[in-house]
Each structure stands twice: as C-alpha cells, then as structure tokens.
Amino acid sequence: MNKDRRDKTKIPVWQKLSLILFGLFLTLFILEAGLRLGGFLFLSFQEYRNKDSIRQNGTYRILCLGDSLTALGGRWSYPSQLSGLLNARGKGIQFNVINKGIPATQTSYILSQLEGNLKKYRPNMVIIMAGINDGSPTGSRRIHIPATMKVVMSLKTYNLFRSIWLSLATKPAKPDPLRYETDIAMEAPGLPTGNSGREYIALGRSYILQGKLSQAEECFKQVLEIDPHASIAYLHLAWINRGKREFRQAEEYCMRFLAAEPLNDLGYTQLGLVYAEQGQYSQAEKALKKALSINRYNDRAWGVLGRLAAQRGDRLSSQAYFQKASLVRNENYNPMTYVNYKALGGLLRESGIVLVCVQYPLRGIIQIKQIFRGADEGVIFVDNQKAFEEAVARDGYTVYFSDIFAGDFGHCTPRGNRLLAENIADVILKEVFGIAARK
C-alpha cells in the first residue's frame, strides 16, 4: 500500500521540467519588468537633473557630433541654425549649441574623442549624426543579424547579462572602439620617417578621420611612390579628388584601382559617383550595376541608382531602388557603426547625459533604433525621412542638397540644413522640455 501511495505522489519527469521552465520564465519576466521600471525611473531622474542644471547654470549646453553634414555650412550649418531655433522657441531657456563636426570622420574617431569633449564642454545633451563614412570613406561591408537575434537583443535582460559577461571576460580598460590606426597621426603629426607604405596608409586614413584631406592626399601619393601596386591608395585618392570636384583625376584613379582589383564593387561605386556628379548618367548606371553584380548588398549603389532614376522622372524605378537600399541597411549592419553607437550610448548613460540620435536626411530611423533595442533609456531619435521626402517632392532635390555623395542624399544646402535643424528642434523641445512642435 505504501508503495502504491508513493507511486501516486511521485511527480512525472515532464512535469518537473515544466515547473523548472516555468520558474525560469517567471524569473526572467520579473527581471525584465524590473529593468524596464528602472529605466523609467532613470529617465525621470535625468529629466529632473537637466531642469535643475538649467536653474543653476542658466544655460542648456548641446554638443553636436558628426561628419561633414554637421561640420560644414558656417552660420548656415544645422548646429548654428538649431541654436537660433531653440533660443527663439525655448520659452526663456538659454541654449548653447557647440558644433564639433569633422568632415569625413567616422564614429570610431568620434568615440575616441568623446571623454575629452565631455570634460571640456560639460554638455547636458549630445546630438550625433554619423556613420556614413564608417569602414572607409570609400565604402564599407555590412554584417547580417537574423530577425530572431534582433528580438533577443531587444531584451534588457539580454543586455544586462551581456554586459556582465563582457566585464568578466575582458580586462578593465577605457573604451577601445573599432578604428583605423590613428595613433601615428595623434602622436606625430609629421610624415613617417621610415619606408613603409603601410605607415603612410595608416596616417592618410587618420588624417581623413580628422578632416585633414590635403594631408591625407599627400600620404596616399607617397604610398604609391613607395609601392605602385598598393591599389587601396588609388581608391582613397579617387574619393578625395571627387570631393574636390576634380573629376578627371578621380576617374583616372578609379580606373587604376579597378585595373588592379576588377572584382571590387567599391571601385565601381566610386566610379559611378564620379560619373553621376558630372551628369554622365548612362555611364554612372553602368558602373553602379556592375558594382551590384559583384555585391548585391552595396546599399550606396542602390541609393545612387534610385537618385538617378528620380532625376530622369522614373518614379517607379526610383522607389524600387530606394526600397532595396533601405532593405539592405535595415537587415545588415556596419559592425563599426553598431559597436561604436552602443559604446557611445553607454558612456553618455553613465554620465547622465541625454543622447539624441539623428538619422541622415531621406533615410529611415529604424536601423538606429534597432542598435539600441533593449538599451534605449535616455536616447531620443530624430527621423528625417518623411520631412525630406515631402520637401524634395515639392521643391526638388537641388533645393536641399548640393550633391549625391551618399547616394540617396548629399551635403545640405542652407535650406536643407534649416529643415534638418527644424526637425531636431521640434523633437528636443517636445521630448525634453514639453514644448509643442511648430505647426
């Protein structure tokens, strides 16, 4: 009888496993809910501290970081116009907007300079619009992250355990972002005294990060004197000369690069941009389609084809090309941008500084949001897709952009920077200060 009783009270193995799994799920659910509640409390405290800082100091400081779209324009740059808009609409709040944009720079260099800039300017908010030059100003490769992994990465529990693992698996150190070898230029601004083409390549790239393009050009020319077969120097020289609108020289450098690397899609993309900016559209399309035949994940080539189709009035083809470019960006990440944005967000969060991530004109915000999924407390996002699409459809592309350097967008005209500044001002005033957007 006792044996029968024990058999009846014995819990089946499957039921034990179910209870264990349920307990684990419940624990993770409670932990996830607690982390999200903690994030809400963090935002509330941060908002209180920002308002208290304004009361004590009288000025709300905003640090703008980015590449040429941030740096260029002088008094018509977007940071300069943003300052005027915020001070006009801020209901008595005094804003100080600091422009630390650097032409052609990458998120790696921005991150490496972040601590120094925070100490120097002591901002309440950091605005960043960057990433187009990551990997190389001439182009970059992307990595694919499966949809299921994106869902997992959006969980705060995942980000917590990932942070714990990284802290245990790595030695304590200051952030070391993915970057080019910039130390040569940082320590010794002169040219290398050795005979190594690699040193000149590293120095040339580091000069690009700092926006010193004439010095970079000299470095890459020196590379070719040392080693005429260093094809990467031709690609960088093509990019630099295209930026100076010296198209004949840029085309020659592209041809020399492709003679050495005929299956490199970045060379054909650069050549397509050289042709497009001269109005040689049929040649541009031929080069860009060749790039895509080599690498169908080349989002810049898709984007330029979309812009060329729009210019000739082929709306259906234009939309198809732009959708393809957007799909490639949303499903694939530039690893340098991904790592550096995450690191920058973490540093600013620890410092209690508001982070505003601004997407480039005509591009959707979804990819930047996906980078921060599960770790987006204190992050504000500014989408510039719809406003610029409507403006370009109404007034024309050249009213807002002076070129097509990125493929689907280019450097902004004063009016383009104005629209950019208005969008950013609307979001900041509404999200941080509760002031309604312009009508």
- Rounded to the nearest 10°, the torsion over CA 216, 79, 424, 130 is 10
- Tell me which of 1.25.40.10, 3.30.43.10, 1.10.260.40, 3.40.50.1370 is the CATH number of domain 183-331: 1.25.40.10
Kindly indicate whether the domain formed by 39-101+118-165+337-431 is annotated with CATH number 3.30.2010.
no
Task: Judge contact between 382 and 431, C-beta under 8 A.
Answer: no
Tokens of 226: 């040392």
pLDDT at 148: 55
Where does CATH 3.40.50 sit in the chain? 39-101+118-165+337-431
pLDDT at 310: 93
pLDDT at 146: 52
pLDDT at 36: 55
Give the model confidence (pLDDT) of 124-138 as tens digits.
999 999 999 886 554
Better-predicted residue by pLDDT, 269 or 407 = 269
Better-predicted residue by pLDDT, 33 or 245 = 245
Residue 170: band (very low, low, confident or very high) from pLDDT cuts 50, 70, 90 = very low
pLDDT at 143: 46
Residue 356: band (very low, low, confident or very high) from pLDDT cuts 50, 70, 90 = very high
Residue 432: band (very low, low, confident or very high) from pLDDT cuts 50, 70, 90 = very high
Average pLDDT, the chain: 82
State the average pLDDT over residues 178-196: 40
Where does CATH 1.25.40.10 sit in the chain? 183-331
Strand partners, 143: 333
Contacts 24+ apart (CB under 8 A), 278-285: 278/247, 281/308, 281/311, 281/312, 284/308
Q: Does the pLDDT at position 154 exceed 60?
A: no
Distance CA 8, CA 133 (A): 69
Q: Is the dihedral of CA 176, 179, 183, 188 positive or negative?
A: negative
Q: Does the pLDDT at position 235 exceed 50?
A: yes
Which residues, including other chains, have CB under 8 Å from residue 306's CB and lie 6 or more apart? 317, 318, 319, 320, 321, 322, 324, 325, 407, 408
Residue 147 CA, distance from chain mean position: 20
Least confident of 150-154, 226-230, 272-276, 349-353: 150-154
pTM of the complete model: 0.72
